[in-house]
Amino acid sequence: MAQSEHGSNGRNGGDHPGRLTDPAQLGDALMLLMEGCYVTRLTFGAADGPMANAAATAHVLLDAYIPPQARGKA
């Protein structure tokens, strides 16, 4: 994973267990997903194509950036 302008690689560091280390990068990733969904909807329709996986993809992003301790799944 590439480094963001915020100096983190998006992974949860051992120094701060239970805390999101790069919320700006997560926000950027979710915004890119949302923008991609908008454009994809114009091409394929609301229920077809890649748009059908948008919610699952958002959950994968959230799981990757938010440590289990912060989600109550320690």
Interhelix angle 54-65/23-44, nearest 10 degrees:
170
Evaluate if pTM is beyond 0.75: no
pLDDT recorded at residue 16? 53
- What is the rounded (10 degree) CA torsion for 28, 32, 34, 38? 150
| The one-letter amino acid at 21 | T
pLDDT less than 70: residues of the chain: 1-19, 73-74
